[in-house]
């Protein structure tokens, strides 16, 4: 069970979620502790540059889609680190709002 497990369950039930992630990996787009709202998303609405709640290699992230290759999505943070490639079944929602 990871930090986002309860939010992922709600997104799977088609519910929007809000939480305050901690950490600096998305600095410049999301500052540590800002209120983030994530909504369920359809695959056709996902594109490069979106911030998504996802799982890569078993780890949960609120990170960027850095590249798209067909039906594969490369996930990474805003500091240049790449987490890896995933398919849509590992994307649970898309960031729709960031507040202080």
pLDDT, position 41? 97
Mean of pLDDT values over 67-79: 98
- Max CA pair span of the chain: 35
Mean of pLDDT values over 5-9: 97
Mean of pLDDT values over 77-93: 98
Helices (H) and strands (E) in the chain, counts: 1, 7
In the chain, what is the straight-line distance between the N-terminal and C-terminal CA atoms, in Å?
27
Q: Is the pLDDT of residue 83 over 90?
A: yes
Mean of pLDDT values over 74-83: 98
| Domain 5-99 grouped into CATH 3.40.350.10 | no
Tell me: the pLDDT tens digits for 12-63?
999 999 999 999 999 999 999 999 999 999 999 999 999 999 999 999 999 9
Q: Is the pLDDT of residue 1 over 90?
A: no
pLDDT, position 37? 98
pTM: 0.96
Which residues pair with residue 64 across a beta bridge?
Answer: 51, 76
């Amino acid at each position: 069970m990871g930090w986002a497990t309860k939010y992922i369950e709600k997104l799977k039930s088609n519910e929007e979620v809000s939480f305050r992630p901690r950490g600096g990996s998305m600095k410049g787009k999301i500052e540590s502790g800002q209120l983030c709202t994530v909504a369920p998303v359809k695959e056709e609405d996902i594109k490069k540059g979106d911030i998504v709640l996802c799982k890569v290699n078993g780890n949960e992230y609120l990170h960027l889609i850095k590249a798209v290759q067909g039906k594969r999505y490369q996930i990474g943070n805003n500091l240049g680190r790449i987490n890896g490639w995933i398919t849509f079944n590992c994307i649970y929602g898309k960031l729709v709002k960031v507040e202080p």
